[in-house]
Structure formats: C-alpha cells, structure tokens
C-alpha cells in the first residue's frame, strides 16, 4: 500500500509555500496579524503539540501510531498535581515521579504492542481512554493547583525575543532530526517502518526499538504535561483533550507516510508552523472555531489526497502514452 510521492518535488517545499501563503492570507484577513512579537508569543500555545509531534514522527516512521499522547499528558500533570497538593510530596520530587509515571505509561503501550503483538492503533486507542479516565478518577472535574511560583508561567519566560519553550521545541527538533538522520538507531527506525520482516531477519532488535520509542513518546508527553501545567498553573483531567489529532495532523501534513518508512522532523515542524499560522490568522479574523475545524480537516485530507491523485493521474497518462509509443 505504499505509493511514492514525486521524487523531484519535496514535500517540505509545498509546506514552505503554503506557510508563505498562510502568512499572506493572515495579513489580508487581519491588520493585527503581522506582529512578530505576538506571533512568537502565540507559539507557546503550540509547543506541547510540537514536542509530542516530534516523537510521533519517529513512531509513525516506524510504522506505528500513538493515540494516547494527549491522555498521557493529562494523567502526568494530574498525578504530579495530586502528589504535591494532596500528599505533600516536595514539588521537584512530584515532578520526577510524574515523569517516571509518564515513562511507565509509554512503556505499557510498548509492552502491549510488542510483547503481545497487538496493533498500536487499538492499543493506544484503549490507553487513550484509560489514561484520561485514570486522570478523571484521580481529580474529577477539579483543577489541581498550588504549584510553587517558580514553576508557573513557563510560557512567559523569554530569552531575548524568543519564548524559551519555543527554543526548547526547536532544540528538541534538531536533536530528533540528528537522531533520525545520523544515528544507527535512527536509521533502524526507517528500516523497520519500510519492512519489518526484513529488518527482523537482518538481525535488528525490532521489538526493543519499538518499545523504546513508545516509552520515549510517553516521557515526551509527560514533559508536555508539566509544561502545560506550568502554562495554566493548574492541572485538569481534560487538559489537551483531542490534541492527539493535532499532533497526528502535524506529522502527516508534514509528509511522514502513515504506513511508515518515510518522513522527517523538518516537515512536521513546518506543518505545525503552518497550522499555527492558519489558526491564529483565522482566530484574529473572528472566524468561528467550527469553520476553522473544517479548514484544518480539509487541509489534512487535501495534503494527502492531492499528491496521490496527481500520482494516479500521471500513471494513467503514462499508461496511455506507452502503447502509443510502442505502436
């Protein structure tokens, strides 16, 4: 089921062009759009999505999917908050325990998927409900707050003109890109995504790599949970609810093949940038959220469907050309 995109037109170019278009459209829609300070400030809303998307890129390249990231985020934040607020655990320790939990949640996904050889889609669909449900059991509809002052408002911390969380995301992006492109383990991920059986036969420890990725994804989501708790200065069970869709949209829009084996971090980050610009532009233009949903949904489908349709049309054309040339 793998269809190749055109070789000479990289997906990143399309995205860059679309991003420029979104910038133009945004400035047409609202006179308040082209304000560098504001645009940099809004990026803090998308940092958590971005960090989760980095790991999701690797997971999708590996031929899997992780729908449970947003729920892991919420459960980590909730557990950290409860440990600190109800059990008076020192905050730094609560954070560490929260991260430990996040790693375990990711590892549980890994164990079920690798150990029991279950499809990642259903496993993480189950844990998506289970983890958020667990957060709900923990704190119900309450907001758990009372974090120390130094912890709150990480999105307000700037390094020069840049929000630190944005720099964190970019640094994470560079690290992930290096990992995927330059390390043996990174290349293994592509190999597994391309052909699992062949990878296994050639001696790769496929299961170990997959389990590691899911654990890392859990850890990343946990970190995002702490970031978001800091941004909101509270933890709630419905934090980032539905964000897994945004994460997957960014990755797939960024050109990573949902069937695995192909893709990269640069595309994911560009796609995220495009989505953020679109949302911001439409929001500033007072376009209702329901219409924004339609645009994002159409963009996701269009980004996948159009290249495939173009490829189909090209094949049809070639088929018709061949007999003509032969005759």
Partner 1 sequence: MSSMWKKTAGAALLLTLLSGCHRQIVTQTTVSTSGPIRVVFIPKNSGNPYFDAVNTGFKKASGQLGFKYTQLAPATAEATNQIPIIQQQIQNGVNAIAISPNSTDALAPVLKQAMQKGVTVITVDADMTGSESSRNACVLPTDFSQVGSSQIELMGSLMGYQGKFAILSATTDAPNQNFWIAGMKQALKNPKYSKMTLVGIVYGNDDPQKSLLEAQSLLTRYPDLKGILAPTSVGLAAAAQAVESARDAGRVQVTGLGTPNQMRRYVTDGTVKEFALWDPSAMGDLAGTLAYLMAKKSVQPAPGVHFQVPSGGSYQFGPNNVLSTGPLLTFSKSNIGSYHF
Partner 2 sequence: MTLKKPLFQEAGVTGFLIITLVLAAFWAPGFYAPGNLRTLLLDTPLTLTVALGMTCVMICRQIDLSVGSSMAVSGMAAGMLLRAHPGMPLAAAFLAGAGVGVLLGGLNGLLVAGAGVPSIIATLGTLSIYRGLVFLMSNGVQINANDLPERLVQLSLASRYGLSWLGVFALVFLALLHLFLTRFRGGRTLYAVGGNPEAARLAGIRVERWIAFSFLLSGLLSGIAGVMYASRFSIVNPGETGKGFELSVIAATVIGGTQISGGYGTAAGTALGCVLMSVIANLLTVAKLSGRWQLAAYGAIILAGISSQVLMARVGKQQRS
Residues in contact with partner 2 by the rule CB under 8 A: 1, 3, 65, 112, 116-119, 121-123, 125-134, 136-137, 140, 245, 248-249, 252, 258-259, 288, 290-291, 293-294, 296-298, 300-301, 304-305, 308-309, 312
What's the min distance (Å) between Cβ of 124 and partner 2?
10
Q: Token match 């640069």: residue? A: 266
What span, in angstroms and rounded, lies between the C-alpha atoms of 178 and 180?
6
Q: How far apart are CA 215 and CA 221, in angstroms?
A: 10
What DSSP line would sit under 209-241, residue for residue?
A: HHHHHHHHHHHHHHHHHHHHHHHHSSB-TTTTT
Buried b (16+ CB within 10 A) or exposed e, 62-90: bbbbbbbbbbbbbbbbbbbbbbbbeeebe
- CB closer to partner 1 out of 164 and 304: 164
Tell me the two tokens of residue 109. Answer: 């996904």
CA distance 10 to 294: 26
181 binds, among partner 2, partner 1, none (CB under 5 to 8 A by kind): partner 1
User: Which residues are 144's β-sheet partners?
Assistant: 235
- Binding residues among 132-191 for partner 1 as defined by CB under 8 A: 140-143, 145, 152-153, 156-160, 162, 164, 167, 170-171, 174-175, 177-178, 181-182
Closest to partner 2 by CB, 156 vs 293, is 293
Our CA dihedral for 221, 240, 79, 100, rounded to 10 degrees, sits at 0
Span from 1-9, 119-127, 196-204, 230-238 in contact with partner 1 (CB under 8 A): 230-238
**Number of residues engaging partner 1 in binding (CB under 8 A):** 49
- Kindly state whether residue 71 participates in binding partner 1, applying the rule CB under 8 A: no
Rule CB under 8 A: say whether 2 interacts with partner 1: no
Degrees, nearest 5: CA angle 134-139-142: 140
Q: Which does 149 bind (CB under 5 to 8 A by kind): partner 2, partner 1, none?
A: none
Backbone angles phi, psi at 162, to 5 degrees: -100, 135
For residue 311, the minimal CB distance to partner 2 (Å) is 8
Residue closer to partner 2 by CB (options 178, 298) is 298
Q: Which residues bind partner 1 (CB under 8 A)?
A: 30, 32, 35, 38, 41-42, 45, 140-143, 145, 152-153, 156-160, 162, 164, 167, 170-171, 174-175, 177-178, 181-182, 228, 232-234, 236, 238-242, 279-280, 283-284, 286, 288-290, 293
């Amino acid at each position: 089921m793998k269809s190749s995109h055109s070789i000479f037109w990289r997906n990143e170019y399309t995205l860059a062009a679309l991003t420029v278009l979104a910038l133009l459209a945004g400035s047409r829609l609202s006179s308040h759009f082209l304000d560098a300070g504001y645009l940099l400030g809004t990026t803090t809303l998308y940092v958590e999505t971005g960090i989760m998307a980095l790991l999701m890129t690797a997971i999708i390249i590996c031929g899997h999917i992780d729908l449970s990231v947003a729920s892991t985020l919420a459960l980590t934040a909730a557990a950290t908050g409860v440990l600190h607020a109800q059990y008076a655990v020192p905050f730094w320790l609560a954070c560490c325990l929260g991260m430990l939990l996040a790693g375990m949640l990711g590892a549980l996904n890994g164990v079920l998927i690798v150990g029991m050889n279950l499809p990642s889609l259903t496993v993480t669909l189950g844990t998506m409900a289970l983890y958020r449900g667990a957060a709900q059991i923990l704190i119900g509809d309450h907001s758990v707050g009372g974090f120390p002052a130094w912890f709150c408002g990480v999105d307000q911390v700037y390094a020069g003109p840049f929000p630190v969380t944005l720099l964190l995301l970019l640094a994470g992006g560079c690290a992930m890109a290096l990992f995927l492109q330059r390390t043996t383990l990174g290349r293994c991920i592509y190999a597994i995504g391309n052909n699992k059986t062949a990878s296994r036969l050639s001696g790769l420890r496929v299961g170990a790599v997959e389990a590691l990725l899911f654990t890392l994804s859990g850890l990343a989501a946990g970190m995002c949970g702490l970031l978001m708790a800091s941004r909101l200065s509270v933890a709630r069970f419905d934090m980032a609810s539905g964000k897994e869709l945004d994460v997957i949209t960014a990755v797939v829009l960024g050109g990573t093949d949902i069937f695995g084996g192909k893709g990269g971090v640069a595309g994911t980050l560009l796609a995220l940038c495009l989505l953020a610009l679109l949302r911001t532009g439409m929001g500033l233009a007072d376009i209702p959220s329901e219409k924004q949903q339609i645009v994002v949904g159409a963009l996701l489908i269009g980004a996948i469907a159009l290249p495939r349709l173009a490829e189909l049309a090209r094949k049809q054309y070639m088929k018709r050309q061949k007999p003509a040339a032969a005759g």
